[in-house]
Structure 1
Amino acid sequence: MSPATVVLVLLSLVGLSAVRAEDPYLYFTWNVTYGTIAPLGVPQQGILINGQFPGPNINSTTNNNIVINVFNHLDQPFLLSWNGIQQRKNSWQDGMYGTNCPIPPGKNFTYHFQVKDQIGSFFYFPSMGMHKAAGGFGGLRINSRLLIPVPFDPPADDFTVLIGDWYAKDHSVLARLLDAGRSIGRPAGVLINGKTGKDTTGKDEAPLFTVEAGKTYRYRICNVGLKTSLNFRIQSHKMKLVEMDGSHTVQNVYDSLDVHAGQCYSVLVTADKTPRDYYMVASTRFLKDTQTSTAIIRYAGSTTPPSTVLPDGPVGWAWSFNQWRTFRWNLTASAARPNPQGSYHYGSINITRTIKLLNTRTIVGGKVRYAINGVSHTDPETPLKLAEYFNITDKVFKYNLVGDVPPATDAAVTVAPNVMTAEYRTFIEIIFENPEKTVQSYHLDGYSFFPVGMGPGKWSTDSRRTYNLLDAVSRHTIQVYPKSWTAIMLTFDNAGMWNLRSEIWEKHYLGQQLYISVLSPARSIRDEYNIPDNVLRCGAVTNLPLPPPYA
């Protein structure tokens, strides 16, 4: 047993033995460096964490305190964000440029957050610029405490499966393309845990996972890519869906699952077939030319290679929409619920505000920009959260440049910091309308929400008749199909400055995001934590005195 493991075990024992003991701590030291990688056979600059691509997995339990000391050895500022971790009362740790100053080259910063009232499968990723295209991502799982049962038997093992599209160009090249007003185009391939499944000669790589016949295993599948929806399936095996984006689901069985950018799913798979090797498959969706990656699951003792006949993936977005309609929240599960303050009774809560958000592509100054409701976001030198906390917003940004309804289609697009306010603890309906021919994917930091409806065309008040007001799965990322709408509902009960963004990363990079400021009128640590002692300062707040702390 390593010294680090001994420390964690001792901390856990102390936490169990003391009635009023603090929740256990998990400590990590991460060195972020460049390194040469070649996942598609082409050497390129990658971002490694402790020399690893993808980065190390975080295996935690509900209520654990996570402390990660990140040393930035890159030649650029760097930030990590935690996809789907709600950071209750603590947007100081969110790791987006609107909430945090980036870690300068040669410096370090310690993230400290608690995985409170959550269970499930998540991931972390680098949020600055196009760093996500170079790696720096990894799995983050939150297990249920022993006293809180989960709605399935413990699996024989628990596997993280990070799938995503991949580009053979360096992240700096992709950024220059976007800055010049061009698109990054289609991906060059698909990866599963950083590999295509084939070596440079076209032979299968070593098995990714080994299983024993008759046993059941959990696979946590996350789409960590830049833009492409992917379909995931396992040769000859059925998958029982048990969790998505941190919520337990009704346990339907599927041959394959569409996983859109930024989403995570957990499935149980029983090794009940003839002992041999089998392929897991990830393939692109909604592209003219399908790209596919494989990885091998080996039954223990097998010497038989997998069949070369891969299971076919689905065709068309209507199939994907119909699959989404089958997803239901497991209302009888006793594990931690996202947004535990009672909003899971969302169908009986009165809507206080409806916000309709329209994503658009436009040309500004001869270059492509992407916008939401006529505003294309740009990050100021001073992070929005710090400007708000130090009360200098008038020098950095203006609130509510976007309205609750999209402007006229011929209205000029504004390029500016895009910050919308939401009244604390109000229940709000948000409509995403996607007039484009490609799938959109939206993520909201700091919250889980209820995707209650989807449909083709434009949303209207009559669309509410189609809503699922009973058991929509609480989650943090949702797709919007081409020329369609998606409706979500949530209570804004988590004070802070939170990023609402397109997970299609070139669109995010070119402005398709906004921040939602949720301020508690009480200015109390009951509602939001004080600014951390180690917070990095930059821009206009570098030398300002601290405001009085929350009481």
Structure 2
Amino acid sequence: MRCNILASLLEVVVVLVSFLGTNAEDPYRFFNWNVTYGDVYPLGVRQQGILINGQFPGPDIHSVTNDNLIINVFNNLPEPFLLSWNGVQQRRNSWQDGVYGTTCPIPPGKNFTYTLQVKDQIGSFYYFPSLAFHKAAGGFGGIRILSRPRIPVPFDEPAGDYTVLIGDWYKKNHTDLKAILDRGKKLPLPDGILINGRGANGTAFAVEKGKTYRFRISNVGLMNSLNIRFQNHRMKLVEVEGTHTVQSKYSSLDIHVGQSYSVLVTADMPSQDFYILVSSRFTNPVLTSTAILRYSNSAGPFSGPLPGGPTIQIDWSLNQARSIRTNLTASGPRPNPQGSYHYGQINTTRTIILANSAGQVNGKQRYAVNSVSFVPQETPLKLADNFKIGGVFRVGSISDKPSGGGIYLDTSVMGADFRAFIEIVFQNNENIVQSWHLDGYAFFVVGMDGGQWTTASRKGYNLYDAVSRCTTQVYPKSWTAIYLALDNVGMWNLRTEFWARQYLGQQFYLRVYSSVESIRDEYPIPKMPLLAERLQGGTHVPYNSMPL
């Protein structure tokens, strides 16, 4: 059953109006976005990019904790489209997550109003298009959630607040890249690195001598870990994906695919232009791009040497990752110390071990989690679950542990109990850095190390001040362990952030279930006008599913 058939069912469901789930006491922020194709020249050649209100990248979302965001998206592309919100937790509301497992695509020429509340969140995140390899064409932008005025922030208000979207990029159009994947082939290495949608020296950030600025840096790319450094300046890390961190200083910072960091940089050098350098990590060749840190009354470019990147050794990056810890004395979105939640004193009730793999299925390249390569259905899984439609997916179609067998195709859904506290171990048996993201949640990154994870590995866990975030890296031939409180009912996408691998199956859905159906735990299904054309009128535009 397709989304178009479900339109008739939804119209007879008694639900709340489109502002469902928002709190009338909290402010509303309204956005009208027009999504189109347009010519872009990020690496000097003309490409078909995705523009939002004519912008590439798209406009930032500025908000404050608990704000209600009403985002009306008009899809003027000739194919279905969805936006997802990387790190915005969608409390009790996976309907608005914007991935195909939970939401019908917006048909061409139609619109949908996302109704989100940034409930009990602060921090730096981003949005991106989640269908049909659109992410390789743009359509992404920054999200910032500021603390409420009465909640203290553990640093002085900066003189400026900048969004910095970094990522690898191809000169080929996204349709050509998608065609390569549809034929079952691997993508080549990217052609360059973009900083806010531009290549080398295309972006400048204005600063005044003696003042401090906040840079919210997100890796919105497709496959490469990146390193950022400010020439002759140090970065003070202050926030990672909604968590205030211990304010350590770094000369360079690794930011893996899908991750977001906030740093403070003080303009304490002579009034000149300095380079901001972003380069790919663990690649041959190394791709590098630059932006400009431009002092007011600049005397011209600084003539000193450019700061070199860090060693290619994995241990350097691993040790830096371990140094990122929660600031236990800082308030989060509420006026209490972030360390008051003693996650290390809670017993886990389940251990899930996830192993990524790559291989051929029916002569085509596929990627998998615990040997299962995800195949989407024409009916979004969350809708099938809500209407008890059989034959769409099966809970338990992916196991808790690696099977060791070959890759096979299935619509993989893992069941989990509401309010359980669990341990997930990402085991990487490949020679690449992996990056994993879970929608709807933040989790505690309690440990990472080389080799195979065993129960003895728990002896090295950080059970005191581990950082809470929504995306984590796993180093080659290594493991990363997280603790997760399942306090958000819904169907949530757990995926690799390597977008070609995600497209070719390295993802699944975590169904967090409560037997008590209550709006206190999960909002009812909204009246969704994003459904595809009905069978009675017009031509149905089906979701462009992954190749089998």
Fold in common (TM above 0.5) = yes
In structure 2, which of residues 131, 134, 148 is the aligned counterpart of residue 131 of structure 1? 134
Secondary structure of 1:482's partner? Answer: coil
Equivalent residue for 1:290?
286
Equivalent residue for 1:439?
433
In structure 2, which of residues 180, 194, 203 is the aligned counterpart of residue 191 of structure 1? 194
Equivalent residue for 1:472?
466
Does 1:148 pair with 2:145?
A: no
Kept in 2: contact 1:498–1:517 (CA 8 A): yes
Matches within 5 A, 1:246-395: 246-307=242-303, 309-315=305-311, 316-336=313-333, 344-392=341-389, 394-395=390-391
Equivalent residue for 2:74?
71
Matches within 5 A, 1:47-126: 47-126=50-129
Matched residue type, 2:483: M
Kept in 2: contact 1:227–1:503 (CA 8 A): yes
In structure 2, which of residues 158, 161, 165 is the aligned counterpart of residue 158 of structure 1? 161
In structure 1, which of residues 502, 523, 543 is the aligned counterpart of residue 496 of structure 2? 502
Matched residue type, 1:427: F
| Superposed displacement of residue 542, structure 1 | 11
Kept in 1: contact 2:234–2:250 (CA 8 A): yes
Q: Distance in 1 between matches of 2:108 and 2:176?
A: 20
Kept in 2: contact 1:57–1:139 (CA 8 A): yes
Kept in 2: contact 1:118–1:338 (CA 8 A): no
Mark the CA change 1:461 to 1:339 in structure 2 (over 3 Å): closer, same or farther.
Answer: farther
Q: Distance in 1 between matches of 2:490 and 2:354?
A: 21
| Superposed displacement of residue 539, structure 1 | 10
Work out which structure has the larger RCO, using CA pairs closer than 8 Å and 6 or more positions apart in sequence.
2
In structure 2, which of residues 451, 476, 484 is the aligned counterpart of residue 482 of structure 1? 476
TM-score (norm 1): 0.91
Kept in 2: contact 1:381–1:539 (CA 8 A): no
Equivalent residue for 2:546?
none
Secondary structure of 1:77's partner? Answer: coil
Kept in 2: contact 1:382–1:538 (CA 8 A): no
In the alignment of these two chains, the number of paired residues is 514
| Superposed displacement of residue 21, structure 1 | 5.7
Q: Distance in 1 between matches of 2:223 and 2:475?
A: 14
Q: Distance in 1 between matches of 2:283 and 2:338?
A: 41
Does 1:42 pair with 2:54?
A: no
Equivalent residue for 1:425?
419
In structure 1, which of residues 514, 518, 528 is the aligned counterpart of residue 508 of structure 2? 514
Q: Distance in 1 between matches of 2:534 and 2:52?
A: 31
Q: Distance in 2 between matches of 1:178 and 1:338?
A: 48
Secondary structure of 1:184's partner? Answer: coil
Q: Distance in 1 between matches of 2:370 and 2:503?
A: 16
| Superposed displacement of residue 342, structure 1 | 9.6
Kept in 1: contact 2:275–2:290 (CA 8 A): yes
| Superposed displacement of residue 334, structure 1 | 1.4
Q: Deviations over 1:1-60 (max 9, x none)?
A: xxxxxxxxxxxxxxxxxxx96211110110000001110011111000000000000110
In structure 2, which of residues 444, 448, 455 is the aligned counterpart of residue 454 of structure 1? 448
Mark the CA change 1:343 to 1:398 in structure 2 (over 3 Å): closer, same or farther.
Answer: farther
TM-score (norm 2): 0.91
Q: Distance in 2 between matches of 1:350 and 1:211?
A: 48
Q: Distance in 2 between matches of 1:195 and 1:254?
A: 25
Secondary structure of 2:468's partner? Answer: coil
| Superposed displacement of residue 455, structure 1 | 1.0
Kept in 1: contact 2:374–2:505 (CA 8 A): yes
Matched residue type, 2:526: P
| Superposed displacement of residue 251, structure 1 | 0.3
Unaligned runs of 5+ in 1: 1-19, 199-204, 544-551
Q: Deviations over 1:219-250 (max 9, x none)?
A: 00000000100000100001100000110000
Unaligned runs of 5+ in 2: 1-22, 538-548
Q: Distance in 2 between matches of 1:489 and 1:157?
A: 35
Equivalent residue for 2:394?
398
Mark the CA change 1:511 to 1:398 in structure 2 (over 3 Å): closer, same or farther.
Answer: same
Kept in 2: contact 1:444–1:477 (CA 8 A): yes
Equivalent residue for 1:17?
none
Matched residue type, 2:225: S
Q: Percent identity of the aligned residues?
A: 62
Q: Distance in 1 between matches of 2:409 and 2:403?
A: 15
| Superposed displacement of residue 275, structure 1 | 1.1
Matched residue type, 2:45: V
**CA-based RMSD:** 2.0
Kept in 2: contact 1:431–1:488 (CA 8 A): yes
